[in-house]
Amino acid sequence: MKKTELAKLRELSNEELGNKLEELKSELFRLRFQNALNQLENPMRLKAVRKEIATVKMLQRQNELNSAEA
């Protein structure tokens, strides 16, 4: 993930991050399904989506911790 993409994600609210997480999880499901049927064109996209999910979850947790401190 590029720094610009990460900066854009940091600007999102918790609700928007939750929506993004749902989108990524559904994309990951579709990619896994395509992989099982041997129809996946770019297998590296699986890894990239998993990393994006982890990043979104990390940002959500950081927001939780920051709001708890305040």
pLDDT for the residue numbered 60: 96
Quick one: CA torsion of 8, 13, 16, 22, rounded to 10 degrees? 90
pLDDT for the residue numbered 56: 97
Q: How do the domains of the chain map onto residue ranges?
A: 13-69
pLDDT for the residue numbered 59: 96
Q: What is the DSSP letter of 70?
A: -
Single pTM value for the model = 0.91
- Give one DSSP letter per residue of 34-50, joined into a string: HHHTT--S-THHHHHHH
CATH code for the structural domain at 13-69:
1.10.287.310
Residue with tokens 């959500």: 60
Give residue 33's Cα distance to chain centre.
18
pLDDT in tens, 1-56: 788 999 999 999 999 999 999 999 999 999 999 999 999 999 999 999 999 999 99
